[in-house]
A and B are shown apart, each in its own frame.
Chain A
């Protein structure tokens, strides 16, 4: 009996960010893209590889919550160059899914979670 996630699915915003990073010629973006590929496999093995972001979220994270509501759990993975990957664990029927909400740089992340991590 496996209690791992079955799939990793990206939101439209996260997919867009991933495509942007993959298509970019900047070396740090390439590094982030490589890390994303690694994380996709890692999250299938351990869906709690990220850091838990406790609820209730900071009021500044309301746009994040509203854009992807309803959220019941939230995790954050560090990426190179202070980028962050935010995901939640949900299910569709019996299939457990790691749903990547956003892939953002430090500036966007710190707008939602001020004072949280460097």
Chain B
């Protein structure tokens, strides 16, 4: 019985890979645009006076973030792979739940989140967008990990310039 349990644990271990691993697998792939901004970068940015007050506020708020990752692709094959990876990740990961779905203007967007320190905070926010982006069909996957305040999300949206992120506003209103 114990042996079986161990075996199962070993087999399922790869499925429990965290967001870091699954995102990083796209680093070497063609047809994928990929960006990672780490905490250290955000911290440095908060010390630089960008001159834009909104951006400055955003950076103050972003201090709690561990990292921001974005993947974008126009390739249908890569889209399918990302979709599958997201489903696997959401399905097996502890505590990641669907937060919201939006279908609007040719785009289909899903938000997932993992509970944070309290009701208005999440420790992980995942956005999967699929559909028309600036006239082309594409897919965007955005992940924010750390100490994310849902109430501040609208500030994030303005600064991130990531397609679909304006929908984060709707999360804020819902809460």
The answer to whether A and B come from one shared complex is no
Give the interface of B toward A (CB within 8 A). Answer: none
Using CB atoms and an 8 Å cutoff, list the residues of chain A in contact with chain B: none
